[in-house]
Chain A
């Protein structure tokens, strides 16, 4: 289980996280919704230890990872995968080398075994045979799918998705959502998804949380969120420009 307790983070004078409290249960899929620039990606980066909070704790299986040294953090990251907003593929490596990066670094698998795993993951994200392409030859959506293949290559227990379906067409969005659900079903993966895509959120989320003003202002199942009386929630899910939620 992941427990985020009273997490605070400030960049200069801007307070991005103001006492975030969240619990993510094993095997659960939690979707974090919220307007652009409210700090959702910053929250994800705290969960994988890329950022240190000014205050607060991130407990994974009961251990506060904000106090981990580099060695323990690396051991934890071997159990996690992250899909970045920009996919963050290594420009100088081919698709296959990108996906195989973690496997080559941290396992003793043979080149052939790694090639099979890479091909299997590419098939899963709908890009069979893309092994030898360079990232510069891929469209935005394809880059994102390769990023996802890289995130799942080591079969992690926890996957963090930063806007996994942004830039994808509706069919591919649905395919990625189905992949997400099948990973959850097959491997019991715990996932935390940051997205703006409500349809996708409703499809994949066991629970949905609304992040606004540095806090989690609402959390619940799809039905609870849809029927929430909170005006912030209603404004966000209806996509209204006017309301208590101001544009950042």
Chain B
């Protein structure tokens, strides 16, 4: 009984998220076709997502790059392989850590705020008010948040990569005893464009997931302040779980693609 309820709930969740995603795509296409895509609304969301998340993303990126170099640097030094430190760290950042960590930070910072904002709009009848003014809530509210998250997660992941490498290089030079040139050359020799692109592709998917899940949780908010609180935490937990689960499949898919077409 409990298992069947769980399966039913999961099917309902996946179905609802898929429908909201398809509606977002539909309204995006409609907006482009009719020339009424809310660019101002989209720019507002992008600037909010970027500005709000940047400090945390910067700290996370810097700290991760620095810690990775500490961990890898001493081990590689014992093996006399210091010149590979930059390459290994940059590959780990570009392929996995930057998109995952940026995704988790943005899920916590932005996914929650989207769910809280739309949840409050739901319980105060603002979403009903939109509909009475012949305005589709998906078009007005979901489309700019979905694309804002998708685009800005890619941008923020690029920042995480860059800031991570800055943090790594500072530690490599000051603690591991590498020269900056050795560290940078190691990155340039080992890091391939497909490593970067694969990571950014993941970031794009994670961004879309965060936007759709935040909006879904907001739209399905019930009750008062307690309901908004539940939606907010629910959006963060669900987005992080999705990011971690989807990451595995994306990694396998990207590796297979690279092996088949780029090696």
**Which residues of A approach B to under 8 Å, CB–CB?**
45, 48, 50, 70, 74-75, 77-78, 80-82, 84-86, 88-92, 101-102, 105-106
| Cα distance A88–B120 in the bound complex, in angstroms | 10
Please name all residues of chain B whose beta carbon is closer than 8 Å to the beta carbon of A70 when the two chains form the complex: 136
Number of interface residues of B (CB under 8 A): 14
* B136→A82 contact, CB < 8 A: no
The answer, yes or no, to whether B32 is at the interface (CB within 8 Å) is no
Please name all residues of chain B whose beta carbon is closer than 8 Å to the beta carbon of A91 when the two chains form the complex: 120-121, 124, 126
The answer, yes or no, to whether B52 is at the interface (CB within 8 Å) is no
* A48→B124 contact, CB < 8 A: no
Question: Which of B120, B121, B124, B133 is the one whose CB lies under 8 Å from A101?
Answer: B133
* B126→A48 contact, CB < 8 A: no
Please name all residues of chain B whose beta carbon is closer than 8 Å to the beta carbon of A89 when the two chains form the complex: 126, 129
Please name all residues of chain B whose beta carbon is closer than 8 Å to the beta carbon of A77 when the two chains form the complex: 131-134
A-B CB contacts (within 8 Å), total count:
48
| Cα distance A80–B135 in the bound complex, in angstroms | 13
A182 to chain B, nearest CB (A): 22
* A85→B134 contact, CB < 8 A: no
A68 to chain B, nearest CB (A): 12
* A90→B129 contact, CB < 8 A: yes
Please name all residues of chain B whose beta carbon is closer than 8 Å to the beta carbon of A102 when the two chains form the complex: 133-135
Question: Which of A75, A82, A92 is the one whose CB lies under 8 Å from B129?
Answer: A82
| Cα distance A22–B135 in the bound complex, in angstroms | 28
* B131→A88 contact, CB < 8 A: no
B221 to chain A, nearest CB (A): 15
| Cα distance A195–B133 in the bound complex, in angstroms | 22
| Cα distance A166–B47 in the bound complex, in angstroms | 39
Chain A proximity mask over B110-140: 1 for CB below 8 Å, otherwise 0: 0000000100110011101101111110000
Question: Which of A75, A84, A92, A101 is the one whose CB lies under 8 Å from B125?
Answer: A84
Closest to A80 in B: B132
* A106→B134 contact, CB < 8 A: yes
* B135→A105 contact, CB < 8 A: yes
A10 to chain B, nearest CB (A): 17
